[in-house]
Amino acid sequence: MGMIAFNDKFELASDVNCSDKSLTHRAFILAAIADGTSVLNNVTFSRDVCSTVNALRALGADISVEKDRAVVAPIRALPNEVTIECGNSGTTARLLAGLVAGLGVKARFVGDESLSKRPMKRVVEPLRRLGANIDFAPDCLFVCQGGELRGAKIRAEVNSAQVKSAVLLAGLFAEGRTEYIESTLTRDHTERMLAQLGADIETSFAEGSYSVCVGASRPRAFSVELPNDPSAVAYSAALALLTGREATFTNVLLNPARLGFYNVLKRSGAKISFCNVRDVLGEQIGDVCVKCSALSPFVAAERDVSDGIDEVPLLASMALFVKGEHRFQGVAELAHKECDRIEAIKHIANVVGKRCCCDGNDMTIVSDGKIPRGKRFKTFGDHRIAMCGTVVSVVGGCGCVDDAPFDVSDPAFLERLGIYPLKLGLIGAHAEQSVSPRLQTYLSMRAGVCCSYDAVTLHDDISDTDLLRVIDRYDGLNVTMPFKTRVAKLLNAPVPSVNTIGKRIAPCSTDGYGLVHSLQKHEIDFAGKPLWIVGAGGAAEACVRELLRFGCKLHILDRTAANAERLRRKYSLPSEISRPFGVLTFIPECPFEQSVPLPESCEFVFIADYMGRSALREKANARGLTVVDGLEMNYAQGAASFSLWTGTPVQDDYADYIDYVKEFHYI
């Protein structure tokens, strides 16, 4: 999903599930090596979980899926060699490193750009100590090539439940016993689940450390309804607390090592309680009840941070709404997540004018509790940071996030918050270069309408069926080259080229309106005047139709003479105009555009391509002529499209919009 603009409207939904991601990964992995077929219910198939499922299938597990239910038949025959596609999932990479080392399969682990930057030595080194033949290689995370595993005593060098789990999974296949010792107890889902499923495993606390010891064994097959993720519920709880609402969230995992977020809030005055507590696969499950509360500044000790590492950015975002100084200890591990979340927290604080600083491993946030409206938050491609930006935007009244990869961990994130954006977008050959996403989110915030806006780049050889399928996914779309005339034909539009379509509007073009509006803003008296039009594409033709309504006399110039002749004949235009009042170009700079002269009679030049250079712009500037930038046309036509989609009038505040896009270096 692309940029999303939020308003202050939401309605928390307690009946939208999101299975705990940590438990879901581990349940699939243990089911894949169990002694029979297992059944997993209430599964949320986030992108991270799908990475683990697909990797286990590649290793030989038979996994069938129907809605939120999965049936897993364990691995029977191993492949000789396999590539493990981990996507963005560090859990997939690290846990399956341990499993693959135990299985003895030759496997090459690969991941996306973000995952490739995350530390993997922390899991490779302890697996090597067990005898795994695992090493780093170019263009991948690491390569595992089997090895005879022997049990060993391994002390944790970093506090990581993923590393611990990798060692324990490898230990299930090692000769002798494998002991893992950590000074701070990290998430213990793996050992709890192994113990519940009959594996040879023991845990103990002694002399300030935690030890878990595993022997060669195989877990039993099982059937389970996975509980909801306390990390996912945290965002709903945050919205409830910050807006004075009461809410109850059911069937939530209440593992003590996952409750750092809730413990910090309780100490700050939040009225949060757990009820209906019961055991499932060795884990405590229950309901989270939130009541209206007055919050004091947050203090998160190192234990709290360890027990709520994924929710620290959310706590930091909540702190912006609570007056005072907030302290978080031992946050260094945040720098090694999907992005550097310490820097991301600083960004969120800076955007709303608050102070966030770090001293060693500790972080401090100082806030007056007052948050400005209408701010835009970068997400750095990180799902947790996108969720934090959402909370700040909604509680603050309005705002936007520049990317929303919620489906990495929680595909139903917005649904659970009761937020349903109008789904808008742009399709074209180079849609990623457009400023339209910034324009539409700007208009959405100004109008108080919740919208998402995607820039969808399509190849021009896409089939009609696939093109219509893309169109059907959206409530409204802008259409740019080379699809304007093609979409018009597919949708039986009343005009030969379109730039605006939607489920509730007739296909149309706002290009002509945008051009006329921008010329009028510059007080250019173009009505009835002779003009040169450079270009013969969809936008040029739409503007020709509009200018003819104003009695203009038009001459078409195009690098392809046949295209120019087509428009001349279609609209009965003169074959030559020697003294044009202005030149309007709809093509990017190229040898043909450079060759177009600027007659002495010209008083203005219009440049549609606002993103690139233009020889005509340079010629006009050299003579001191008025130059109308295509960004003004883009603003006016985009505003017209927005009004059609939403039924909301748009005020003309182009100057404020330019300040907005300049602030974020969009132009």
Cα–Cα separations (whole angstroms), residue 660 to 192, 374, 604, 653, 657: 51, 10, 27, 11, 5
Contact residues for 566 (Cβ-Cβ < 8 A; gap 6+):
536
Q: Which CATH superfamily is domain 421-667 in?
A: NAD(P)-binding Rossmann-like Domain (3.40.50.720)
Let me know: does 150 contact 176? Beta carbons within 8 Å.
yes
Query: According to the model, what pLDDT value does residue 207 have?
Result: 77
What are the residue ranges spanned by the domains of the chain? 8-15+230-401, 21-224, 421-667
Let me know: does 617 contact 611? Beta carbons within 8 Å.
no
**Per-position DSSP letters for 444-487, written without gaps between them:** HHHHT--EEEEEEE--TT--HHHHHHHHHT-SEEEE-TTSHHHH
Q: Alpha-carbon distance 659 to 667, whole Å?
A: 10
Query: According to the model, what pLDDT value does residue 665 have?
Result: 46
3-state helix vs strand vs coil in the chain, percent to 5:
40, 25, 40
β-strands 177-182, 153-155: how paired? parallel
CATH class of the domain at 21-224: alpha beta
Fold equal for 8-15+230-401 and 21-224: yes
Q: Mark whether 310 is an active-site residue.
A: yes
Structure tokens at 568: 């001349």
Taking the chain (667 residues) in runs of 10, the rounded mean pLDDT of each run is 89 90 97 98 96 98 97 95 96 97 96 93 96 94 93 93 97 97 93 96 90 97 96 97 96 96 98 95 94 96 94 98 97 93 97 95 97 93 96 96 92 95 94 87 91 94 96 96 94 94 96 94 96 94 96 96 95 94 94 95 93 88 94 92 93 78 54
Q: Alpha-carbon distance 526 to 550, whole Å?
A: 8
Q: Alpha-carbon distance 190 to 168, whole Å?
A: 8
**Per-position DSSP letters for 278-325, written without gaps between them:** EEETTEEEEEEEEE-------EE-HHHHHHTGGGHHHHHHHHTTS-EE
Could you give phi then psi for residue 366, rounded to 5 degrees?
A: -120, 130
Let me know: does 110 contact 92? Beta carbons within 8 Å.
no
Using DSSP's 3-state secondary structure scheme, residue 139 falls into: coil
CATH class of the domain at 8-15+230-401: alpha beta
Contact residues for 240 (Cβ-Cβ < 8 A; gap 6+):
12, 246, 247, 290
User: How many other CB atoms are found less than 10 A from the CB of residue 66?
Assistant: 7
Let me know: does 226 contact 41? Beta carbons within 8 Å.
yes
Query: Which residues are 252's β-sheet partners?
Result: 228, 286
Q: Alpha-carbon distance 311 to 154, whole Å?
A: 29
Q: Alpha-carbon distance 197 to 195, whole Å?
A: 5
Structure tokens at 89: 């999932």
State pTM to two decimals. 0.88
Let me know: does 518 contact 499? Beta carbons within 8 Å.
no
Using DSSP's 3-state secondary structure scheme, residue 546 falls into: helix
Cα–Cα separations (whole angstroms), residue 215 to 157, 169, 177, 387, 602: 22, 10, 5, 40, 86
Using DSSP's 3-state secondary structure scheme, residue 141 falls into: coil
- Which of 310, 382, 402, 454 is an active site residue? 310
Q: Which amino acid belongs to residue 644? A: L
Query: According to the model, what pLDDT value does residue 667 have?
Result: 40
